[in-house]
Amino acid sequence: MTPIDLASFQHVVFFTGAGMSAECGVPTYRGSGGIWSQYNYEAYACQRAFDADPVKVLDFHELRRSTVLACPPHAGHHHLARLQAAFAHVDVITQNIDGMFQRAGVRVAAELHGSLWRLRCARHGIRSDEERGAFLERRCADCDAWLQPDITWFEDNVDADVFARAGALVSHADLFVSVGTSGAVWPAAGFAQQARRAGARMIEINPEDNEASQLYDERVRAAASEAIPRLFPIPS
C-alpha cells in the first residue's frame, strides 16, 4: 500500500458503500450476514411493501436506526474528516443511508440513496430529521398520511438533483476512490465508469473482488478503517 499525496490532485472523490460502515458493526447488504439475506427487500424495502404494510416497514427501519446508533464511526471515518480539513478538494458521495460520516464530522456532498434519519410525507416533504432510534411521529401532522423513510428503495427512481450534483463532482475528479461497495446497484455504480472515462486515477478499497473491480487501476484488498489512513496520510 504505497501512500498517495492528495496534494498532487485537483479534485478527489470518495465513493462509498455499506462496506465503509461494516467495521462499525452495521451489516452490509449483500453476502453472508447481509441485510438482504435476512430480510426480503420486497417485504421491507420497496414502495409496494410500505403501501401494503407501513407499520411493518417502519418497524424494520426503526430497528435499523437503533442498530446504527449503537455503532460508532471508525478510524477511516475520522481520518476522512481530517483529510477534508486539510484539503478543500476532497468530496464524499455515498450510497450509505446511515449518517456515519456526518457523525464523524465528514462533509457529505451527496447522499445518493437518502437517509435513515429523515422521514417524509408524500405531500408535505421532509417532516423530521433526527438521529434517534424510535420515530417521534409516524404520521404527518398536517394530513395524517404515513410518513416514510427518506430512502431510495428498490424500484424507486433516484433523486435526480442529488445524482446531478454527484455527477458534476465526478466529472471533475482526477482521483476517484471507491470504498466498500459491491458496485452492483445502478445508477450509482455508473459513477465509477464515469470517473474512469473522465481519466481519473481509480482506486478501489475493498477486501473482496467484485464485477466492478476491473474498472480500477489499483485494488487495495484491505478493510476501510486500515486502508484509508495508510493510503492517504495527513500532511504535517
Rule CB under 6 A: choose which of 12, 13, 95, 163 binds ligand APR.
Answer: 95
**185 is an interface residue for ligand APR by CB under 6 A:** yes
**99 is an interface residue for ligand APR by CB under 6 A:** no
Rule CB under 6 A: choose which of 22, 192, 202, 215 binds ligand APR.
Answer: 22
Specify the stretch interacting with ligand APR by CB under 6 A; choose among 14-22, 47-55, 81-89, 116-124.
14-22
Q: Determine how β-strand 148-151 pairs with β-strand 12-16.
A: unpaired
Q: How far is the CB of 219 from ligand APR (least distance, A)?
A: 12
Q: Are 235 and 7 in contact (CB under 8 A)?
A: yes
* The amino acid at 98: D
* The amino acid at 223: A
In angstroms, rounded to a whole number, what is the distance separating the alpha carbons of residues 200 and 174? Answer: 4
Q: Helix/strand/coil (H, E, C) string of 168-199? A: HHHHCCCEEEEECCCCCCCCCCHHHHHHHHCC
Catalytic residue among 61, 113, 124, 172: 113
**Residue 113: active-site member:** yes
Specify the stretch interacting with ligand APR by CB under 6 A; choose among 2-10, 21-29, 80-88, 118-126.
21-29
Stated as kind and residue range, the H or E segment containing 35 is: helix 35-38
Q: Enumerate binding residues for ligand APR (CB under 6 A).
A: 17-19, 22-23, 28-30, 34, 95, 113, 179-182, 184-185, 205-208, 210, 223-224
